[in-house]
Structure 1
């Protein structure tokens, strides 16, 4: 199904973030999701999302707000096996097919 064939209600639903897994607590969880969504939206163009720029913005923002040593992986297809600091891991999806993994180690 081409992007133009996606029903309007499904497109609207895909604009929400979907947290697949996280061990980040409470209010911080929402702040991290907002940061991720904002970075992706900021670097979105009609041609697509500049994933490299979005990842850099997410990493820099997390480093500034929550201390150094954050990492960000963003893309449309990847798997992972990592060791992360407790309370710092989030794997989520945005716009349906953009996966984001952030963690601190």
Structure 2
């Protein structure tokens, strides 16, 4: 019986967590998309326990690099409906369950 419990625990620990970025939707050009994705990964790794700080870092960097009015949300388990400028949206996942949405609107 003890062997069955330890086998069950081993199976529970086999959950796969993806550590690579997964872009769910984007209409950005390739250069902007690559830069935004790398920025999101850096922010999420740097502020792994603070989603608000990660979002602020991404927003400030995008405002500086690509002009003002960027909006960023970082977290788990949220939904959204937004209006954005064409060629200025990125929705991605990182670290398994962390979702990042960034968009620009005027």
Matched, 1:16 2:20: yes
TM-score normalised by the chain length of structure 1: 0.84
> Which ranges of 4 or more aligned residues in structure 1 deviate by more than 6 Å?
none
Structure 1 gaps, min length 5: none
Q: CA RMSD in A?
A: 1.6
Q: For 1:87 and 1:99, locate their aligned partners in 2 and report how far apart those are by CA, in whole Å.
A: 19
Partner of 2:65: 65
Length, aligned pairs only: 95
Structure with max Cα Rg: 2
Matched, 1:91 2:88: no
Structure 2 gaps, min length 5: 1-8
Partner of 1:52: 52
Q: For 2:62 and 2:82, locate their aligned partners in 1 and report how far apart those are by CA, in whole Å.
A: 18
Q: Deviations over 1:34-63 (max 9, x none)?
A: 00000111112xxxx210100100100100
